[in-house]
Structure formats: C-alpha cells, structure tokens
Amino acid sequence: MTVRGEPRRRSGASALRPPVAFGRCERCLTPMLRRASDDERLCASCAAGDRAVALASRAEPSVRTQLYRPQSTVHVLDKRRNPLAAPAPSAGRPLRIALLAPPWLRIPPHGYGGIESVVALLADALVARGHDVTLLAAPGSRTDAQTVGLLDSSHPDRIGASVIEADHVARAFEHVEREAIAGRPFDVLHDHSGWIALAMADRISVPVLHTVHGPFDEDAQRFYAAHGAKASIACISRAQAASRPDGVRVDAIVPNPIDVDAWPTDVPKDDHLLWIGRFAPEKGAHRAIRVARETGRRLILAGPVQPGQEEYFAEEIDPHLDGDRIRYVGEVGGRFKQELFASARALLMPITWPEPFGMVMVEAMAAGTPVIAFAEGSAPEVVEAGRSGLLVGDEAAMAHAVTRVDELDPAECRASARERFSPDRVAARYEDAYRAIATPAPRPRPRVEPADESEVVPA
Ligand code: UDP
C-alpha cells in the first residue's frame, strides 16, 4: 500500500527532522506515521510479529521439521501444484502407531474440540499412508484407525480432572505394554492427552512423541522443564516452540491439519462477522463485540461456556446480546457450524494470548472465510496476510480491516489452507518424527539348520 498525501513543508528547527507522512501498515492497514527517510512498511505490531516468527525459526537448531514458511504479502498461487493428489504412500516400512487422545471427548468431536479434530484427521491420514494405527481414546470414537475405548464413557463435563486423565493414561500404557508382550510392539506412542503421559513417558518401553497443544504458561514452563526430556517433543507453531522453557528440546514443529474438502463451497455469504471458541477472556469475544459495534456489522458468537467461564460470560458478553445484531447461538457442530463459518464475511480473532495454533483460523480458511486476527502467538504463521486474512494490532485496526475484508478471495483462503495444512502433509511430517525415534525393525537373522541333534547345545 502506498502512503497517501504529500508530507507538509516545515520551517525552522522542525525542518531538520525528516518530514512525516500518514500511511497505513501494508499488512494490517493500521494507520501509521512514516518518516519520509525511512522505509518501514509495517506497523510496530506487525513488525514485532515478524520478529517473533524470525526468532522462533532461528531458536531451535534441533528442529527437524519445519512446515511453515514466512509468507510474502503478495502471493501468486502455484497452479502446478495438484492439491487434490491422493496421499502419498509412506516411503519406508509401515509403522505400528498408537495415538493417545485425551479422555474427555469422542473422536471426532461433534462440537467443541480442537485437539480431538486434529487427532481424528491425523488418524485417518496415517492409515491412508499405509500405517497400522491404533487410536486409544474415549469410547464411541470412530476413525479409520482401530479404536480402543479406554474408559467407560467420555467426560465432556470434567475436562482436566486428574482422576480421569490418570485412569485413562494408565490403561493406555497397559494396552501398549500388553501388545509388546504379545509380540506386537508399537513403533511409537504419539501422545496428545495432556500431562500425565509425558510425566510417565520414561516408564514405558515404547518411544513416545508428545505434541504440546497448549501455551507454555507459567505452570507449563515448570512442567516441561521437569519432564520435557522424557519424550520427543512436537510443537504446533514456531511461536509456541519459541516460548518453551530453557533447555527443553523441540524435535519437530508440525501444524494442525484441516481437511478442506470436508467443508462446503456452496454456502452464500451473509453480512455477519463470526467469533467462535470457548469463552475465555484471552480469546476476546468481548473485543469482537466492540469491533462489531464500531463497524455496525452483525456478529454471531458461538461456543461453549466452560466451567469457570460463567462470570466472564455473564458480565462481558450476556449484557450485549440482543438476538439480532449481537447474537449468541451456543455451542455448534456439524453442518450448522460449517455453514456459520462459510456464510460469515470474516472470522474475528481478537486474541490476547500466545495462541498455540487456533484451529478456528484454519477452519475459517477452509470455509472460504478470511480471518482478521491480532498478530499474537501463531496468528502471523497461520494467516497469510493479504491472502487468507489480515493481521491487526488493536481493535481500531480490526474495525478498519473489516471494511477491507471483501477484497480477499474465498477461493484463495481455501487454497491457502489446502496447501499448508492438508492432513496428508501433516501426517508426513509426523511420520518423519516417528521414524526418527522408532526402534529400527530387527534384521531377519539367517537361519542356521543344525547338522544333527547332537550339535544342539542345551541352554
Ligand atoms: N468448536 C466447535 N463448536 C463450538 C466452538 C468451537 O466445534 O461451538 C471447535 C472449533 O471449530 C475448533 C475447536 O472447537 O475446532 C477450538 O479449537 P481452537 O484451537 O480454535 O481453540 P482452543 O483449543 O484453544 O479452545
């Protein structure tokens, strides 16, 4: 974007300073002041986001798997790529993989459930690549993998209860060890389940890869510093990896997958903005309301009010709901959720936390809906600014970006998600990480036939 208007002429002392001009950040369109002598094209917030991304990619020399590439704001779709190509079969021997999901929700989830969506897509993609996959999960889970339901039921109302997680993980470990004793050892246990499996990962005979799904907040910093060396560690964004505690080795950075083909392309656009997620203050539903008010656009809010979020919802959200311009539709799932995404003009992501990934951003892209996100955490990596969305620094910039979002092409949003987050691509990255830790298959020993019984030495 070019800077509009000529700098005004000055006299006296001020003439010594380079003249300033009003312009806009080339990425998020925030109004900014520029000195004629400098060539800064990004606002402070976008530049800080870029620095964080650059730092993250330099920070970990041991990172073996890098999927993200810094994106240019001007993007030309590579038409030679065939994103619809069938999954490539795995190059090496098929692996025997145990995927450990959290105990709380069935796989795939019907409504809320970011980790559960990831595990579902990964399980199917690994099977499509020819691996032997067992999913250890809440009963009722269904994927293309063999499923072992460990507990009697799922526990959507007790997310985080350690008594449930411990029971689930202990049974998973028992299953893995029983298989080894029965001569069917797993090559790798890929853990998505939370804390306990990692804390005990050095007590099991199978190599463990643990995906970090949350932010490295204060508790997590302490936890990973103490237990992070017990398994291989995968992060889901460079921003997340960059915030790990000192001394914790990250072995792979693999983003979360999205199956773009599972999202409808025939839903007409409505004029509403969408905010969807859990009602935690850092996810910014209250800021989305202010932006909608500021722009005069309708806003639909969707998501569960989880235990502990009732007060925030009652004080910051509920008083603004009017059933029309600001509307709350509860927790959504299935086709209704997809239509909500696809019919929206934009997804608002006014986050003020180090978002580790943000499944809703890639879901919006898959639905052909651009994302307007604060440049926090993974957002500068996930959103291709100028192609699948806009990155902004504050609410005022977000309100301005809402007026520009129609310039983005829904087909490009989908293409961006397909090129960078396809399940097969993600599964191939995880496969590399599995092969790096899997015990090599024992070489078949040449069979030596004894000449006669007398040569057989008793043990
Ligand atoms: N979600 C849903 N229904 C809702 C609200 C959220 O299915 O009413 C899903 C959403 O589509 C996404 C996941 O829950 O797949 C939230 O994942 P995200 O990574 O965005 O957030 P977090 O894991 O931090 O809650």
pLDDT of residue 55: 44
The residue ranking higher by pLDDT, 394 or 38, is 394
Ligand 1 neighbourhood includes 332 CB (under 6 angstroms): yes
pLDDT of residue 226: 97
Ligand 1 neighbourhood includes 303 CB (under 6 angstroms): yes
Whole-angstrom distance, CA of residue 420 vs CA of residue 253: 13
Q: 278: CA distance to ligand 1 center in Å? A: 7
Longest dimension (CA), the chain: 111
Q: Are strands 326-328 and 299-302 parallel, antiparallel or unpaired?
A: parallel
The residue ranking higher by pLDDT, 442 or 69, is 442
Atom of ligand 1 nearest to the CA of 278: 25
Average pLDDT for 453-458: 38
Q: How far is CA 253 from CA 35, 72, 248, 250, in A?
A: 38, 21, 14, 8
Convert the pLDDT of each residue in 142-196 to its tens digit: 999 999 999 999 999 899 999 999 999 999 999 999 999 999 999 999 999 999 9
Task: Give 379-405 as a DSSP string.
Answer: HHHHS-BTTTEEEESSHHHHHHHHHHG
What is the best residue among 337, 347, 355 to mutate for testing ligand 1's pocket, by most ligand atoms within 8 Å of CB? 337
> Which pLDDT band holds residue 32 (cuts at 50, 70, 90)?
low
Q: 360: CA distance to ligand 1 center in Å? A: 6
pLDDT of residue 53: 44
Atom of ligand 1 nearest to the CA of 283: 24
Ligand 1 neighbourhood includes 337 CB (under 6 angstroms): yes
Helix (H, G, I), strand (E, B) or coil at 83: coil
Q: What share of the chain has pLDDT > 70, as a percent? A: 76
For the cut 50, the answer to whether the pLDDT of residue 76 exceeds it is no
pLDDT of residue 111: 86
Q: Which residues neighbour 361 within 8 Å (Cβ) at sequence distance 6 or greater?
A: 347, 349, 371, 373, 379, 382, 383, 389
Q: Are strands 31-35 and 20-24 parallel, antiparallel or unpaired?
A: antiparallel
Ligand 1 neighbourhood includes 105 CB (under 6 angstroms): no
DSSP 314: I
Question: Which residues pair with residue 309 across a beta bridge?
Answer: none
Average pLDDT for 69-80: 28
The residue ranking higher by pLDDT, 232 or 29, is 232
For the cut 80, the answer to whether the pLDDT of residue 28 exceeds it is no
> Which pLDDT band holds residue 92 (cuts at 50, 70, 90)?
confident
Ligand 1 neighbourhood includes 275 CB (under 6 angstroms): no
For 220, counting Cβ atoms within 10 Å of its Cβ (0-12 exposed, 13-18 middle, 19+ buried), the class is middle
Q: Which of 15-29, 76-90, 336-350, 363-377 has the weakest average pLDDT?
A: 76-90
Ligand 1 neighbourhood includes 278 CB (under 6 angstroms): yes
Helix (H) or strand (E) holding 218: helix 218-227
Average pLDDT for 366-381: 97
Atom of ligand 1 nearest to the CA of 303: 8
289-325 b/e (C-beta count within 10 Å ≥ 16 → b)? bbbbeebebbbbbbbbbbeebeebbeeebeebeeeee
Whole-angstrom distance, CA of residue 349 vs CA of residue 371: 7
pLDDT of residue 47: 61
Q: Which residues neighbour 424 within 8 Å (Cβ) at sequence distance 6 or greater?
A: 87, 88, 125, 128, 129
The residue ranking higher by pLDDT, 19 or 397, is 397
The residue ranking higher by pLDDT, 126 or 451, is 126
Alpha helices (runs of H) in 324-454, residue ranges in sequence order: 334-343, 359-366, 379-382, 395-404, 410-421, 423-437
pLDDT of residue 15: 41
Convert the pLDDT of each residue in 298-329 to its tens digit: 999 999 998 899 999 999 999 999 989 999 99
Q: Residue 172 — φ and ψ, nearest 5°?
A: -65, -45
Which residue owns the Cα nearest ligand 1 atom 23? Answer: 114
Question: Nearest CA to 60 among 336, 341, 248, 257?
Answer: 248
Helix (H) or strand (E) holding 188: strand 188-191
The mean of the pLDDT values for the chain is 84
Convert the pLDDT of each residue in 119-148 to its tens digit: 999 999 999 999 999 999 999 999 999 999
Ligand 1 neighbourhood includes 224 CB (under 6 angstroms): no
pLDDT of residue 74: 25
Helix (H, G, I), strand (E, B) or coil at 312: helix
Q: What share of the chain has pLDDT > 90, as a percent? A: 74
Which residue reads 């402070």 in tokens? 44
Whole-angstrom distance, CA of residue 26 vs CA of residue 326: 30
Q: 279: CA distance to ligand 1 center in Å? A: 11
Average pLDDT for 243-248: 95
Q: 6: CA distance to ligand 1 center in Å? A: 46
Quote the tokens at residue 269. Answer: 């656009």
Ligand 1 neighbourhood includes 259 CB (under 6 angstroms): no
Measured CA angle at 388 (ends 382, 389), to 5 deg: 85
Quote the tokens at residue 9. Answer: 């002429």
Q: Are strands 132-137 and 96-100 parallel, antiparallel or unpaired?
A: parallel
Average pLDDT for 246-272: 96
> Which pLDDT band holds residue 440 (cuts at 50, 70, 90)?
confident
Quote the tokens at residue 181. Answer: 């004793």
Taking a C-beta distance cutoff of 8 angstroms, is the pair 397, 28 a contact? Answer: yes
Ligand 1 neighbourhood includes 360 CB (under 6 angstroms): yes
* Start-to-end C-alpha separation, the chain: 81
Quote the tokens at residue 153. Answer: 């039921």
Helix (H) or strand (E) holding 20: strand 20-24
Convert the pLDDT of each residue in 387-428 to its tens digit: 999 999 999 999 999 999 999 999 999 999 999 999 999 999
370-393 b/e (C-beta count within 10 Å ≥ 16 → b)? bbbbbbbbbbbbbbbbbbbbbbbb
Question: Which residues pair with residue 360 across a beta bridge?
Answer: none
> Which pLDDT band holds residue 56 (cuts at 50, 70, 90)?
very low
Number of CB atoms found within 10 A of residue 86's CB = 8
Structural domains in the chain, sorted by start: 62-75+92-257+422-437 (3.40.50.2000), 260-418 (3.40.50.2000)
pLDDT of residue 447: 61
pLDDT of residue 191: 98
Ligand 1 neighbourhood includes 357 CB (under 6 angstroms): yes
Q: 112: CA distance to ligand 1 center in Å? A: 5
Ligand 1 neighbourhood includes 236 CB (under 6 angstroms): no
pLDDT of residue 425: 97
Q: Residue 248 — φ and ψ, nearest 5°?
A: -85, 125
The residue ranking higher by pLDDT, 36 or 188, is 188
Which residue owns the Cα nearest ligand 1 atom 24? Answer: 358
> Which pLDDT band holds residue 439 (cuts at 50, 70, 90)?
confident
